[in-house]
Chain A
Amino acid sequence: MSGFTGYIQLVYVLTAALFVVGLHLMNSPVTARRGNQVALTGMVIAVIATFILLIHDGTVTATGWAVLICGALIGSGVGLYAARTVKMTAMPQLVSAFNSVGGGAAALVALYGYINSESHAGGVLGTTTVFTVLDVLIGSVTFSGSIVAAGKLQGFIPSQPLVFRGGRAINFALAIIAIGTGAFLFGTASLPAMLILVLAALAFGVMMVLPIGGADMPVVISLLNAFTGTAVAMAGFVIGNWALIVAGALVGASGSILTKLMADAMNRSLANIIVGGFGTGDAAVAIGGPVDAHVRSIAADDAAIQLAYASKVIIVPGYGLAAAQAQHGVAELAKTLEDHGVEVSYAIHPVAGRMPGHMNVLLAEANVPYPQLKEMDEINPEFARTDVALVIGANDVTNPAARRPGNEISGMPILDVDQARSVIVVKRSMGHGYAGLDNELYYDAKTSMYFADARKAMTDLTAAVKTLVG
């Protein structure tokens, strides 16, 4: 590396630095937008520098340029359209799709380099490093796995865990084939073996995600995000580019942190989720059971009285709220209460939604100011000083049974809703949550159940509060 190429490498170092600074600025909503712009700047200068390098080299054919530019433009157009039109409830699918194409592109870079170097002196073997194999392997798994995850989230692949006999044996066999072929490639240059590796990895990606249930998606998306980052870093090793190595490492770190946070918040180990454990359902699809005699039911007017005469209300939103598209209704109810002098905040459990932090985005879209969005550790001590906790579409994360040993959710971090002076739960029925457990909160003497669809409930409650205070 000398002269011109050296200067270009310096630009890549600058890009890597801008990525780090950009991510650092994401540590507060105040600076986050600037962070995104800083990272974008890093990306733009890296692309420009690469263009200059290619022009300087002068080895690119006219067809090569046409292919590259057309491809990038078409991709950009598709990405732009998707990013502009996507609904915030569909963010997890979009992130999954971007994981997929990112992993796919990283795998293609290695694959392309491998095929290309066949014609060069020294042959393929010289370039078959551990990184080429890892890049192709991880990139392919990410590509197909993310497509299945996006399909499950979008609903064109059933979100229930698809388990069939012999599924684990097939997974095991695929893993052996992929790893075995990878090891074989270190000693022998073989394009067919490389293609077998790709196919086995693609099949493994599909088989890995298919048995995972919809409610585990926050973990899966985070994990695939970490995979994509790793694949990109491996691509960086293959072509010896620092910008790719640093960017890939940053994304890998981010994905790993989020994966661990999500798995902890669901009280499950990563291995347990991948292998497929308890629970087949989806918290949003609660199927009605009989209403228990001990449960106190409440109507809109009575609930409105409790809310309007409270001095402090905490709203606990769960995925059921997003599924019912009730986030705007909640925001309106909260605003009405605030105008009346009630202090309102939101308690956000880490797994509320279908990806890390999803609920915050849904509420931000409904114009809820972010200082009202409180993280679990921040809000839990406040429940004791709260007059009414309004639980909407959240179940397991409010179940006090988690504090006792001996059940499926033991040890799971929960919101201390039961410590509020009174609790109103908006729910369609007494159906179980994802863990399949009865929620003891519902049988508490200070809890009232408001059986209704979340969206309709919010409209009715807002109207009732307005009548009371207006």
Chain B
Amino acid sequence: MSTALLTDLTIFILALLVGIEVIGKVPATLHTPLMSATNAIHGIVLVGAMLIGVSSHTVVGYILGFVAAVFAGANVVGGYVVTGRMLKMFRREAGPTATGRPEAESLHGHKGLRGLLSRAGKA
């Protein structure tokens, strides 16, 4: 077993564990956007299509490279745009009726300056 393969395997296993750790914390509310965000992330296969696709000089090679580029391009752009579209719909408040609800305030303790600013902007 070569060093390169061993390194690759190490990275794969560690990334898998990091993934389980990080994604386990995502609330069910966001599972659909999460899935579509990971969809966009696996669009990184575009880089694979670029690296390998351009090394060919045959017609079959060009066709396969073209199809791979179409697939990966759709995957990347579509994935990010639709995730952004969905996340934009998640609002803390619907309108004036929901303001000042105590549980809405405490649900996410670390909303930070940015959250405060966007709230102030809406008010």
Contact = CB atoms under 8 A, between A and B. Distances in A.
Q: Is the interface of A mostly helix, strand, loop or mixed?
A: helix
B68 A244 contact: no
Closest 6 CB pairs of A and B: A75-B73, A79-B78, A71-B69, A253-B19, A357-B31, A249-B15
Interface of A: 12, 15-16, 19-20, 22-24, 26-30, 32-37, 39-40, 43, 46-47, 50-51, 53-54, 59-61, 63-65, 67-68, 70-76, 78-80, 82-84, 86, 88, 91, 94-95, 98-99, 101-102, 104-106, 108-109, 111-113, 115-116, 119, 221-222, 225, 228-229, 232-233, 235-237, 239-258, 261, 331, 335, 338-339, 348, 350, 353, 355-358, 360-361, 364-365, 367-373, 375-376
B43 A229 contact: no
B80 A40 contact: yes
B122 to A, nearest CB: 12
Given A71-B66, A78-B70, A241 B29 contact: no
Contacts of B18: 20, 249-250, 253
Contacts of B40: 36, 39-40, 43, 98
Interface string B32-71: 1111111111111111111111111110111011111111
Given A255-B38, A364-B89, A116 B23 contact: no
B79 A79 contact: yes
A364 B44 contact: no
Contact of B8 (A39, A240, A357, A371): A240
Contacts, number: 419
Given A27-B26, A68-B54, A108-B68, 4 more contacts: A29-B87, A249-B11, A335-B97, A371-B92
B46 A47 contact: yes
B69 A112 contact: no
Given A108-B49, A232-B42, A71 B67 contact: yes
23 contacts: A28-B30, A39-B41, A39-B80, A61-B57, A68-B54, A68-B65, A71-B69, A98-B36, A105-B68, A105-B75, A108-B49, A112-B61, A113-B52, A225-B39, A251-B42, A253-B17, A254-B38, A331-B94, A338-B97, A356-B28, A356-B34, A357-B34, A375-B27
A253 B15 CA distance: 9
B38 A251 contact: yes
A82 B71 contact: no
A101 B115 contact: no
Contacts of B43: 43, 98, 102
A46 to B, nearest CB: 5
A103 to B, nearest CB: 9
B contact residues, range: 35 or more
Interface of B: 4-5, 8, 11-13, 15-20, 22-58, 60-62, 64-95, 97-98, 101, 103-104, 107-108, 110-112, 114-115
Most A C-beta atoms less than 10 A away, residue of B35, B44, B88: B44
Contact of A76 (B26, B56, B74, B97): B74
A19 B17 CA distance: 14
B27 A27 contact: yes
A91 B36 contact: yes
B44 A247 contact: yes
B94 to A, nearest CB: 5
Given A23-B37, A83-B81, A371-B101, A105 B49 contact: yes
B49 A240 contact: no
A375 B28 contact: yes
A75 B5 CA distance: 32
A25 to B, nearest CB: 10
A308 to B, nearest CB: 16
A98 B39 contact: yes
A225 B40 CA distance: 11
Nearest to A139: B45
B38 A104 contact: no
A392 B40 CA distance: 33
B32 to A, nearest CB: 4
A102 B42 contact: yes
Residue picked from B36, B42, B49, most chain A C-beta under 10 Å: B42
A253 B75 contact: no
B38 to A, nearest CB: 4
Nearest to A250: B19
A76 B40 CA distance: 12
A46 B44 contact: yes
A364 B90 contact: yes
Contacts of B37: 22-23, 26, 35-36, 39
Contacts of B72: 72, 75, 101-102, 105
B27 A232 contact: no
A107 B114 CA distance: 42
A244 B48 contact: yes
B70 A243 contact: no
B88 A33 contact: yes
A102 B40 CA distance: 9
B11 A242 contact: yes
Contact of A80 (B49, B53, B81, B103): B81
Nearest to A99: B39
Contacts of A70: 66, 69
Given A65-B54, A115-B61, A241-B48, A248 B42 contact: yes
